[in-house]
């Protein structure tokens, strides 16, 4: 578990490379596929969580227990903490997938629009191509930020799950 930083670094560059390849025209964006993002989620959240449960079985479930005098309130808090435990990585998964799909749809729509406009008016077509190129470079920056945010959130989720004896 001491070399977990290298795993996160590897996944950062892997996600970044896949996202940058997905921006290139006529390349399939593999990170747009739900199976790939589920794989990233399971590798960065599921494997460390399973390891932690196996390694510290008793102590791991103390995280869900609250120090409240009321047993009813304690049961409600256990339910809420269990939901949070499983919904946090799902939010990470949906965030990554939605932002990838939104960027690709935006680029596709503007490129179709600029091509059709270029056929009717050259000047207006060139203006939309300039807009398309600026959005393309914006999308390059967004790819870097998305890979960074994905890894940072996975690290935070991992940090809240890892329990030392």
Full-model pTM: 0.65
Those residues whose C-beta lies under 8 Å from the C-beta of residue 12, and which sit 6 or more positions away, are 147, 148, 150, 151
The 10s digit of each residue's pLDDT in 136-156 is: 888 888 888 888 887 887 777
Neighbours of 20 (CB within 10 A): 17
pLDDT at 115 over 60: yes
Higher pLDDT: 142 or 158? It is: 142
pLDDT the model gives residue 68: 66
Whole-number Å distance between alpha carbons of 51 and 62 = 16
Nearest to 154 by CA among 93, 99, 63: 93
Residue 107 vs residues 13, 18, 25, 95: alpha-carbon distances, Å: 23, 17, 10, 19
């Amino acid at each position: 578990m001491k070399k977990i930083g290298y795993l996160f670094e590897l996944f950062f560059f892997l996600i970044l490379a896949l996202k940058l390849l997905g921006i290139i025209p006529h390349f399939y964006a593999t990170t747009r596929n739900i199976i790939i993002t589920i794989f990233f989620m399971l590798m960065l959240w599921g494997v460390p969580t399973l390891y932690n449960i196996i390694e510290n079985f008793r102590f791991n479930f103390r995280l869900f227990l609250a120090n409240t005098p009321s047993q009813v309130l304690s049961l409600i808090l256990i339910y809420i903490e269990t939901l949070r435990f499983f919904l946090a990585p799902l939010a990470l998964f949906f965030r990554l997938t939605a932002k990838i799909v939104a960027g690709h749809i935006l680029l596709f729509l503007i490129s179709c629009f600029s091509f059709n406009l270029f056929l009717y008016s050259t000047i207006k077509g060139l203006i939309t191509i300039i807009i398309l190129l600026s959005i393309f470079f914006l999308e390059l920056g967004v790819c870097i930020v998305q890979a960074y945010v994905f890894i940072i959130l996975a690290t935070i989720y991992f940090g809240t799950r890892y329990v030392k004896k």
